[in-house]
């Protein structure tokens, strides 16, 4: 093992942040962490100085140099205009993978799921979190869900590599590809393709709704679960909560060059400054960091000392149970108790071993693939039109057929309403007009689309946006309307 000190950037955060960071640093130093921390200021004070991102430009210099960030929770001030520091950090530093181990410590920490040891690997950069939202009409708003091939490949490969390097047995994918056939369909397809390279691991796919229900009911059947951003955001909190306490879980945000480690809980301002808070969530983040920077020996010492402390019944208020816990302690005393147990192992809880785990950094090489033959075969034109009568609209829009394009259908919120719609379908003021080539699926030219838009505009229709209909190597790159 190298004895060189690894520079890391540390932020002490707000609320209980400074107390739990002091406890965490004390414990990992007692375990012999070979680190050289540099401190940056983030959070409430920075927000209140008028910096909407909550981080000073100078702090980025440290982060981009050390590439390792141990972050205590921060308080986001109430009121508008403040950006999520987590989202900013993840996106700015390309932290594509959020890794959250959720483990139960029964009977020492109360839980309905005594046998739970699940790792949620959540995609961090895309999906509905791209932040591309629009109000398009009086009645309708939209948020774009972007799922990319490289984004999916990176997270799926990370999940499989994580499983292999941490001696896990199975990787499960949750998606909703029965409904979102193109976006979630891509995620699932990439899971199957990359999974085929990992013959040593079990693979399975669940539709996210029933998968979530199964996770909440029988988490012991899962091992590593990989998910898109939104599903992962929700289900990683569910998983942490059902394991026993959100106060115990840590998480890693991993990129190809930088990484950030933190507790999953917030700054708990009501508990601040009272030596009450449980530092375990941040400590678990720090343990993930130690593995990441190539100090699995220290991670193992620290983690086992923590397990022994929990097993000895030395508990902070949030996990204290009469009859199970032996001693209720504050943040500092808990840190002293863990530090004093360095070198000890738990007797009842499972001992952890990181000695074989290589650094979690990996070169995530994207697969090469040839560009598809892409052909334009139609266009969806979305218009803002306030009358709720699809038949009246359809008859008017058909008069704009021409120059090789004709109206195939009109849909409202995805449901076909013309021709042959149902009177019962409720319509908003947001209509999709699907035009295709008069020669069936023959390719059309962009100029024909521009000409169509020009005719619609001159006819008094407000087109909100268009989506071109392409085929890729002859396969449709769009879905049919419901009822088409």
Residues that bind ligand NAD (CB under 6 A): 16, 20, 73-76, 86, 247, 262, 265-271, 277-278, 281, 318
Element (H, E) at 191: helix 183-195
Query: Can you say how many angstroms the Cα of residue 156 is from the centroid of all Cα atoms in its chain?
Result: 12
Q: For residues 239 and 450, what is the distance between their CA atoms, to the nearest angstrom?
A: 50
Q: Smaller CB distance to ligand NAD: residue 56 or 318?
A: 318
Q: How far is the CB of 247 from ligand NAD (least distance, A)?
A: 4
Q: How far apart are alpha carbons 451 and 224 in whole angstroms?
A: 51
Residue with smaller CB distance to ligand NAD, 283 or 291: 283
Instruction: Select 322 or 424, whichever has its Cβ closest to ligand NAD.
Output: 322
Minimum CB separation from ligand NAD for residue 271, in Å? Answer: 5
Nearer Cβ to ligand NAD, position 270 or 386?
270
Q: How far is the CB of 268 from ligand NAD (least distance, A)?
A: 4
Output the smallest distance, CB 131 to ligand NAD, in A. 18
Least distance from C-beta 74 to ligand NAD, angstroms?
A: 4
How near is the Cβ of 280 to ligand NAD at its closest, in Å? 7
Report the residue number, 19 or 153, with the smaller CB distance to ligand NAD: 19
Q: Rank residues 265 and 345 by Cβ distance to ligand NAD and give the closer one.
A: 265
Distance CA 20, CA 263 (A): 10
CA distance 207 to 216: 14
Q: With the C-alpha atoms ordered 5, 11, 359, 106, is the resulting torsion angle positive or negative? A: positive
Residue with structure tokens 């209509």? Answer: 431
**What is the residue whose two structure tokens read 């394009």?**
405
User: Which residue's Cβ has the minimum distance to ligand NAD?
Assistant: 266
Please choose, from the candidates 366, 371, 410, 368, the residue with its C-alpha nearest in 3D space to the C-alpha of residue 387: 410
Q: How far is the CB of 42 from ligand NAD (least distance, A)?
A: 9
Q: Whole-number minimum distance, CB 25 to ligand NAD, in Å? A: 15
Residue among 232, 262, 235 at smallest CA distance from 249: 262
CB of 19 or CB of 223, closer to ligand NAD: 19
Are the CB atoms for 225 and 121 separated by under 8 Å?
yes
Q: Which is nearer to ligand NAD, 12 or 271 (CB)?
A: 271
Cα–Cα distances in angstroms (integers) from residue 349 to residues 21, 224, 310, in the given order: 25, 20, 9
The structure tokens listed for 148 are: 């990319």
Residues near 424 by Cβ (< 8 Å), separated by ≥ 6? none
Q: How far apart are CA 12 and CA 71, in angstroms?
A: 7
């Amino acid at each position: 093992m190298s004895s060189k000190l690894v520079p890391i950037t540390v932020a002490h955060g707000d609320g209980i942040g400074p107390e739990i960071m002091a406890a965490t640093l004390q414990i990992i130093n007692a375990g012999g962490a070979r680190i050289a921390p540099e401190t940056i200021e983030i959070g409430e004070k920075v927000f209140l100085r008028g910096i909407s991102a909550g981080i000073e430009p100078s702090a980025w210099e440290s982060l981009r140099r050390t590439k390792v960030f141990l972050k205590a929770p921060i308080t986001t001030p109430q009121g508008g205009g403040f950006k999520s520091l987590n989202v900013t950090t993840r996106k700015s530093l390309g932290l594509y993978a959020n890794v959250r181990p959720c483990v139960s410590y029964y009977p020492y920490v109360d839980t309905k799921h005594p046998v739970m040891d699940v790792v949620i690997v959540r995609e961090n950069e895309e999906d509905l979190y791209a932040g591309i939202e629009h109000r398009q009409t009086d009645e309708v708003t939209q948020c774009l869900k972007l799922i990319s091939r490289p984004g999916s490949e990176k997270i799926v490969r990370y999940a499989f590599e994580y499983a292999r390097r941490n001696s896990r047995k199975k990787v499960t994918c949750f998606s909703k590809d029965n409904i979102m056939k193109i976006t979630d369909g891509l995620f699932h397809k990439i899971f199957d393709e990359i999974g085929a390279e990992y013959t040593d691991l079990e693979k399975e796919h669940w539709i996210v709704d029933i998968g979530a229900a199964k996770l909440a009911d029988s988490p012991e059947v899962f091992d590593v679960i990989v998910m898109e951003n939104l599903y992962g955001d929700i289900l990683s909190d569910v998983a942490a909560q059902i394991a026993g306490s959100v106060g115990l879980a840590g998480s890693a945000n991993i990129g190809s060059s930088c990484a950030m480690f933190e507790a999953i809980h917030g700054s708990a301002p009501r508990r601040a400054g009272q030596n009450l808070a449980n530092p375990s969530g941040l400590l678990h983040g720090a343990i993930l960091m130690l593995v990441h920077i190539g100090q699995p020996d220290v991670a193992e010492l620290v983690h086992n000392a923590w397990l022994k402390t929990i097993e000895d019944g030395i508990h902070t208020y949030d996990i204290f149970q009469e009859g199970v816990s032996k001693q209720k302690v504050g943040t500092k005393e808990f840190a002293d108790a863990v530090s004093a147990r360095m070198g000890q192992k738990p007797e009842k809880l499972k001992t952890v071993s990181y000695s074989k785990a290589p650094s979690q950094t990996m070169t995530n090489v994207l697969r090469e693939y040839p560009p598809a033959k892409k052909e334009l075969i139609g266009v969806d034109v979305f218009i803002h039109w306030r009358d709720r009568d699809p038949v009246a609209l359809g008859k008017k829009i058909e008069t704009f057929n021409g120059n090789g394009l004709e109206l195939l259908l009109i849909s409202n919120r995805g449901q076909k309403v013309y021709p042959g719609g149902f009177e019962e379908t409720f319509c908003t003021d947001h209509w999709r007009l699907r035009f295709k080539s008069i020669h069936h699926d023959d390719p059309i030219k962009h100029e024909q689309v521009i000409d169509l838009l020009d005719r619609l505009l001159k006819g008094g229709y407000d087109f909100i946006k268009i989506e071109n209909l392409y085929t890729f190597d002859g396969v449709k790159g769009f879905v049919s309307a419901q009822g088409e």
